[in-house]
Structure 1
Amino acid sequence: MSDYSDIPPHINAQTPLAPIIRAWEIYLRDQGKSPYTIKSFISDLSLLAGYLPPDRAVGDVTTRELNNFLGWLQHGRGVPCSPKSLARRITAIKAFFRWLHQNGRIAADPAEKVIQYSVISPLPQVLTPEEEQKVLEVAEAHRRGRKPDARPYTLLSLLLHTGIKKGECLNIHRNHIDNSNPEAPFLFIRYSNPRNRYKERKLPLSQAWMEAYQEYLEQYQPRDVIFPWSARRLEYLLEDIGEEAGLTKHLSFDMCRWTCALRDWQSGTEREQIRQKLGISKIQWREIGMKLQRLAESTTLEQTPQDSQVER
């Protein structure tokens, strides 16, 4: 049985690409794909439609034409096409024609034999243990200052210890934090879209964080959403902490997430446990795990000369 939703009945092998692309956009939206993914995929397929003859029926598109199109993107279009963009465009083409084939609208999938390029983007920046300590000390100083402000510490410590994404952080409601068992409080990451239920998870919270959180609640009294500010406002808050700590790096949600994951990796946490903590699929984990391995190795190499000098 197909995992793909029904395609409008008027679409068949003789239909040109343009109206099918519009139907696919609706399908992607119904599947809960991110607006960024939808915009990128539709743009990629629109490029293909513009490359092929305008009257070309979708059932007549060949593997050779798809490969020629990809070659044109790299060498004939006159616009730079990075390896990452190329890999995404191949993914879009494969998903589009697979959707049509698995729903019986085309007899064969011309994209099946198109070679998929796997591209690993550059390694993300992470905080060293010393830098992590510095930013936490800055946040703690605000919490203990003359005019106590627990918000910097509550936000930063939560990100560094749970590894949650920016969107997940912005969607935390008060009832997502469960302290019914004071010995084992936890954060419940929830998603409204049923297709994202696999990302839902319970993340343990420390007693130290719960204390700061209670102070934060008393100071800001959020009604429902824990951090009722825009993403950009919270990003500024993290940037301010980083600058105050003297970082040359750009402290961000993403940096905190990768720092958390790398710390777990280096501490010997089971790989599957890290994957579940991050709330990512096994397919996504392939690249994330490779990056964490490379980050761990690069960190070890950076520390080795210093360690060797100390031993001498």
Structure 2
Amino acid sequence: MTAGPLEGFAAHLSGELGRSPHTVRGYLADLTSLLEHLDACGHGPADLDVPLIRAWLSHARSAGASRSTIARRVAAVRALTRYLHREGVLATDPGPRLATPRQQRSLPTVLDEEQAASALEGLAPTTPVELRRHAVVELLYATGIRVAELCALDLADLDRARNTVRVLGKGDKERTVPVGAPALDAVDAWTTRGRPEFVSPTPTGALLLGARGGRLGVRQAREDVHAHLRAAGVDSAPHGLRHTAATHLLNGGADLRSVQEFLGHSSPRSTQIYTHVSVERLRTAYQQAHPRA
């Protein structure tokens, strides 16, 4: 077994397809396992066909691989077989004949309104770090934006006259999201009393700053959320606040299309899971309250 096919494939993924380093590393790890399986069976990359690939996937399933892991492996194999077919290594591409396992969609964890109020109103931030944490949590809940979108915000993205924020989402798609007064108050407290303590000699226009004065990183933003919520006695995560915002909007009467635009989903199918959350809560309330439930 040689590393040649994967070296060329790695360059193809990053250079031609523009895949992220994280995706490239994941694909290569999966496909190294595939090539080792082929080698153990006395085969090479030119022998790749559906039965061999299915045998490899079946072995992974028997070893306890989750559906998401199998789906990722199928995606990696499809990309590889398409590349090998283009390069003339494979006469035909077996990738399209591979079925992707359907993902189990679990209901997202959301805070109820009392928990959300406790997380947002139960603490009185005073230090620069506490002010940043408060602003991070308020903005995530108020806008439903992703944590990466939050970290990418600049001071200029906030429009206080209109109570909105300009967000650059997936695929560089821009959207404008409304922001409530409490979140804007938290941001004002951060920018006036917290942010100046982080500004470096080479200032940036980023709204949220890290310890060295640069733009706040996603990892630190996640830690800010966990630290703030733990202090408030609430258990959630950044994406949990996004789920919470969407669910509370639907429970309050917002239509699905509006919530789709609010979240920056390209398809309504991505938003429909939140209707399941609301239905599940209705079912729970029914079972608790209806005499013939």
| TM-score between the two structures when normalised by the length of structure 2 | 0.79
Q: Paired residue for 1:196?
A: 171
1:68 positional shift? 1.6
Q: Aligned in 2, Cα 1:51/1:102: closer, same or farther, shift over 3 Å?
A: same
The answer as to whether partners of 1:17 and 1:56 remain within 8 angstroms in 2 is: no
Amino acid at match of 1:237: D
Partner of 2:142: 161
Cα deviation for residue 151 of structure 1 reads 3.2
Structure 2 counterparts to residues 38-117 of structure 1, below 5 A: 38-53=24-39, 56=43, 58-75=45-62, 79-101=63-85, 106-117=90-101
CA drift of 1:272 comes to 4.0
In structure 1, C-alpha distance between the alignment counterparts of 2:253 and 2:82, rounded to whole Å = 40
Deviation at 1:150, TM superposition (A): 4.2
**Alignment deviations for residues 188-209 of structure 1 (CA, whole Å, 9 cap, x no partner):** 2237xxx8223x3222223443
AA at the equivalent of 1:201: R
Q: 1:132 & 1:272 partners in 2: Cα distance?
A: 24
State which of 228, 232, 250 in structure 2 corresponds to 1:245.
232
Deviations 1:66-102 (CA, angstroms, capped at 9, x unpaired): 1122122223xxx431222112211221233234446
User: Which of residues 239, 243, 246 in structure 2 aligns to 1:254?
Assistant: 239
Does 164-173 or 265-274 show the bigger shift? 265-274
Tell me the amino acid that sits aligned with residue 175 of structure 1. A
Q: Does 1:210 align with 2:184?
A: yes
Residue identity matched to 2:192: E
What is the aligned counterpart of 2:283 among 291, 294, 301? 301
Taking the TM superposition and a 5 Å limit, the aligned residue runs for 1:225-236 are: 225-229=206-210, 230-236=217-223
Number of the residue aligned with 1:7: none
C-alpha distance in 2 between matches for 1:298 and 1:263:
13
Percent identical among aligned pairs is: 21
Superposition deviation, residue 40 in structure 1: 1.7
- Tell me how many residue pairs correspond in the alignment: 276
Post-superposition CA distance 1:217-238 (Å, at most 9, x none)? 1112354222212545443433
Is the 8 Å Cα contact of residues 146 and 239 (structure 2) preserved in structure 1?
A: yes
Are the aligned partners of 1:84 and 1:121 in contact in 2 as well (CA < 8 Å)? Answer: no
Amino acid at match of 2:125: H
Change (3 A) 1:21 1:267: farther
CA separation in 2, counterparts of 1:178 and 1:126?
A: 28
For residues 176 and 85 of structure 2, what CA distance do their matches in structure 1 show? 38
Identify the residue that residue 13 of structure 2 maps to in structure 1: 28
Q: Are 2:81 and 2:94, in contact at CA under 8 Å, matched by a contact in 1? A: yes
Q: Deviations over 1:146-194 (max 9, x none)?
A: x9x6434322121002112222222222222234xx1x14222237xxx
Q: State the alpha-carbon separation in 2 of the partners of residues 23 and 273 from structure 1.
A: 44
**Equivalent residues of 1:66, 1:111 under 8 A apart:** no
**Pairwise CA RMSD:** 3.2
AA aligned opposite 2:172 = R
The verdict on how the C-alpha distance between 1:237 and 1:64 changes in structure 2, with shifts beyond 3 A counting, is closer
How much does 1:59 deviate?
A: 4.4
Q: Secondary structure at the match of 2:111?
A: coil
Can you give the 5+ residue segments of structure 1 that lack an aligned partner in the other structure?
1-15
| TM-score, reference length from structure 1 | 0.75
* CA offset digits 1:101-158 (Å, max 9, x no partner): 467764422121122111125333110111111111124x337x9x9x6434322121
Give the match for residue 142 of structure 1.
125
SS where residue 53 of structure 1 aligns? Answer: helix
Opposite residue 278 of structure 2, the aligned amino acid is A
